[in-house]
Amino acid sequence: MTRGRPLIRKYRARRGSSAAVSALVLVLLLAGCAVGPDFVTPPPPDVTGYTPEPLKGTTAASTSSGTAQRFDSARDLSGQWWTLFHSRALNALVERALAANADLQAAQAALRVARENVYAQQGALFPAVDANAGAIRQLPAIGSPSDVGAGASTFNLFTTQLNVSYSPDVFGGTRRSIEALAAQADSQRFALEATYLTLTSNLAGAAVQEASLRGQIAATQSIIKIETDIRDLLRKQRGLGAVADADVVAQEAALAQSEQALPPLRKQLAQQRNLIAALIGGFPSQALSEQFVLSGLRLPRDLPVSLPSRLVEQRPDIRAAEANLHAASAQIGVAIANRLPNITLSAGAGSTAIAVDQMFTPGNNFWSIAGAATQPIFHGGALLHRELAAKATFDQADAQYRSTVITAFQNVADSLRAIQADAVALQKAAASEKAAAKSLEISRHRLELGDINYISLLNAQQTYQQALVSLVQARAARYADTVALFQALGGGWWNRSDVEPERPLTISDMLQ
């Protein structure tokens, strides 16, 4: 990141005119000024791409679900990016997850808390008005003087009063507090977007992983069928004296080894289903009607690749880190204001009488107006060190922001590299599977003719087994890394239409 430009600029005192001191004081009381630094959004990194060399426009292609993908910097990412996989099952699960996921609901509640805290702090900019009423019945001590109830052993006293207090925000400490809370609310808003993105990405990734596991299970079952047929063939040939017992036993061992691979895959599939159930807000005991296979997913062909200058605006974690930096900047102003004079104005008016019907008669009213100013003089260095701590917190938030930006660029670069490599890997895996299947077919036919020994067939079996499973994994990797790219680019939250608008502050709110 560029370090030459400062992230904050110092407060500039307003230029006064040649007005009298009293006018200047009045301006300060009514308008005030906000001490401390004014926050400036950090500039985007001075880079033009994600890789040292120019990014190729398309990936490699193959014949086995290997459609070439195209990188397009002019294309924007949809707010519902998971629909690009054209899976009704995935769309339905995402919709259920957005309505029932507890982590998402917790993040939404946290945002409401942050916004209400802003509204609460905004109330400090206005006078506080309180009304109270009281009544007492009193028996004075023997011989004690009393201005009320003369000649009576007991008397009543009724009082009503209206109090107004106001602390002018002369140096902007309250406004800086509001600024800090508003920045924290922004941070929580982007934390909500990050939770939303994590949820949808995890769900899409879980669907791809389930499809991959189902594909690997199907491939393993296909291999088991082939090896079972070969075992039966060898048993027949042993009965004819064409092969030795050792060859039959070796094939039975190879078959058992392939069958041994099924339980771990089925375990992973069950756990993946449990994960999907949890993501949509359900329990593992609740059966899911949706199932995922690779043939039910369509690989997006056109992939949006945001410009580096836009990535810092799109990533929720970067925006949250920027908001935290803003809040830390505002807290410096709060700490500075706490070292400056604090002015309090108050007024009260009311009435007191010995009978309710005399409350508002002439002579029973009273009022008061007061003003006070407090200048901190000695607090054992606490106020100074709190200011220094606030500045250190800003430096910490600055470093965390820069680290978040670097990580975001790394995520995008990793995803781009992975997508490019996945396309080549699938191309090679498809060629390898095709060649291994042909080799196994030839070896099996030659074994039937007695042209080769069993060792050659066993090697062909193992090669085909590895090639078939690798092909399934290579196909799934393209989907998984496409999901990772969409997540790394920010998930398209800026194009969402279901974002809850912020509730404006109303007059009725201020009266509470």
CA distance 338 to 310: 38
pLDDT tens digits, 91-110: 999 999 999 999 999 999 99
Amino acid making up residue 386: R
Residue 206 or 363, more confident: 206
Q: Indicate whether 240 pLDDT > 90.
A: no
The pLDDT assigned to 284 comes to 93
pLDDT-derived band at 2 (thresholds 50, 70, 90) equals very low
Whether residue 63 has pLDDT greater than 90? no
Strands 70-72 and 302-304: parallel
CA distances from 410 to 47, 71, 492, 508 (A): 13, 17, 18, 48
The residues with which 337 forms a beta bridge, in sequence order, are none
pLDDT in tens, 317-342: 999 999 999 999 999 999 999 999 99
Higher-scoring residue by pLDDT: 337, 34: 337
Q: Please write the tens of the pLDDT for every residue from 140-189.
A: 776 555 555 555 678 888 999 999 999 999 999 999 999 999 999 999 99
The mean pLDDT of 352-358, rounded to a whole number, is: 86
Residue 318 lies in a domain: yes
Whole-number mean pLDDT of the chain?
A: 87
Q: Which residue has the higher pLDDT, 12 or 389?
A: 389
Average pLDDT over residues 191-205: 97
3-state SS, residue 347: strand
- Within a domain: 144: no
Name 357's Cβ contacts closer than 8 Å, sequence gap at least 6: none
Q: How far apart are CA 50 and CA 288, in angstroms?
A: 40
Q: What is the pLDDT of residue 234?
A: 86
**What is the average pLDDT across 405-417?**
96
**Is 158 part of any domain?**
no
Per-residue confidence band for 84, with pLDDT thresholds at 50, 70 and 90: very high
CB–CB of 146/155 below 8 Å? Answer: yes
CATH code at 498?
1.20.1600.10
Q: Which domain holds residue 305?
A: 8-13+28-129+170-341+383-510
402 belongs to a structural domain: yes
Buried b (16+ CB within 10 A) or exposed e, 124-135: eeeeeeeeeeee
Domain assignment present for 360: no
| Number of structural domains in the chain | 1
Give a yes or no: residue 370 inside a domain: no
Residue 21 has pLDDT above 50, yes or no: no
Q: Is the pLDDT of residue 9 over 70?
A: no
Q: Which residue has the tokens 């509640």?
A: 109
What average pLDDT does range 128-135 have in this prediction? Answer: 93
Residue 1 within a domain? no
The pLDDT tens digits of the residues spanning 450-473 come to: 776 778 888 888 899 999 999 999
Altogether, the residues listed in the chain come to a count of: 512
pTM of this prediction?
0.84
CB-based contact 470:427 (threshold 8 Å): no
The structure tokens 């120019």 sit at 54
Mean pLDDT of 15-27: 42
Q: Residue 146: its pLDDT value, please?
A: 56
Residues 76 and 87: their CA atoms lie apart, in Å, by 21
Q: Is residue 151 part of a domain?
A: no
- Judged against a pLDDT cut of 70, whether residue 16 lies above it is answered with no
